[in-house]
Amino acid sequence: MEKRTELYRGKAKTVYTTDDPERLILHFRNDTSAFDGEKVEQLERKGMINNKFNNFIMAKLEAAGIATQTDKVLSETETLVKRLDMIPVECVVRNYAAGSLVRRLGVTEGQELTPATFELFLKDDALHDPMINESHAVVFGWATAEQLAQMKTLTGRVNEVLKQLFDDAGMLLVDFKLEFGVDANGTIVLGDEFSPDGCRLWDKETRKKLDKDRFRQGLGGVVEAYEEVAQRLGVSL
Ligand code: TMP
Ligand code: ASP
């Protein structure tokens, strides 16, 4: 597989084209960003950890029958993925109240949410990823009603699989964000990544934060927390 040109540089990953038009390379960088790129730091080893972590999670989801973009690991920080036409809508599921939900609604952090909530955000840094609803997504052509229904169903299935996986390893899956794309056959496929950069994970007993909130809130020990999560799940780094 030959790496060609840079297609897109995100805040934490770079996407490259390859000699196969149906395959792209995701490069997980050490860059760690919060508040729409307002706070950015290089955290040693983070790219490698997230690459391996993401592959571990995507393999679990594939095993549960959920189609993902991931093809195979190429190196410590690079993964070959199927090319998707990405839908610019972020799907967020919450099992416990935290982050923007607490700020927006004034509810108590840590309150259990049953059933889990489901929210949509427009992927647009310049607008600070505003919350949207299904009618916005449909009327502005970001996704069809059918695609949204499938994304919601798939997100719920991902939540069931991962809640159990983290629970077995002594952690609460507080919330997470997923992105989907459409493959060459028109099928909705889980894309992007799943890592502690895009979810919240708390220790079940102490509720210690083990995710990117350590970076957002300046708590320190960011990479150490990511390593602890990986180690608890049995991801070999
Ligand atoms: P929020 O509480 O800031 O709305 O975030 C909810 C979850 O989604 C949290 O696990 C972090 C994740 N997320 C991202 O991964 N990228 C984003 O741009 C945003 C806004 C949230
Ligand atoms: N990933 C987004 C950023 O870099 C938002 C966040 O995670 O806080 O700014």
* Residue 135: per-residue pLDDT: 98
* Residue 78: per-residue pLDDT: 98
Q: Does the CB atom of residue 3 touch ligand 2 within 6 A?
A: no
Q: How remote is the CA of residue 35 from the centroid of ligand 1, in Å?
A: 10
CATH classification (class only), 3-82: alpha beta
85-221 folds as D-amino Acid Aminotransferase; Chain A, domain 1 (3.30.470)
Q: Is the pTM of this model over 0.95?
A: yes
Mean pLDDT over 173-188 rounds to 98
1 pLDDT higher than 90: no
User: If you compute the radius of gyration of the chain from its CA atoms, what whole number of angstroms results?
Assistant: 17
Q: Do domains 3-82 and 85-221 have the same CATH topology?
A: no
Q: What span, in angstroms and rounded, lies between the C-alpha atoms of 79 and 70?
A: 7
Percent of the chain residues topping a pLDDT of 90: 98
Mean residue pLDDT of the chain comes to 98
212 pLDDT higher than 90: yes
Sequence ranges of the domains in the chain? 3-82, 85-221
For residue 84, give the nearest of 191, 194, 12, 7 by alpha carbon: 191
Mean pLDDT over 196-221 rounds to 98
Looking at all shown ligands, the one closest to residue 199's CA atom is 1
Which residue's CA is minimally distant from atom 8 of ligand 1? Answer: 177
Q: Are 167 and 31 in contact (CB under 8 A)?
A: no
43 pLDDT higher than 90: yes
Which residue's CA is minimally distant from atom 16 of ligand 1? Answer: 198
Residue 67 φ/ψ, nearest 5 degrees: -70, 130
Mean pLDDT over 193-208 rounds to 98
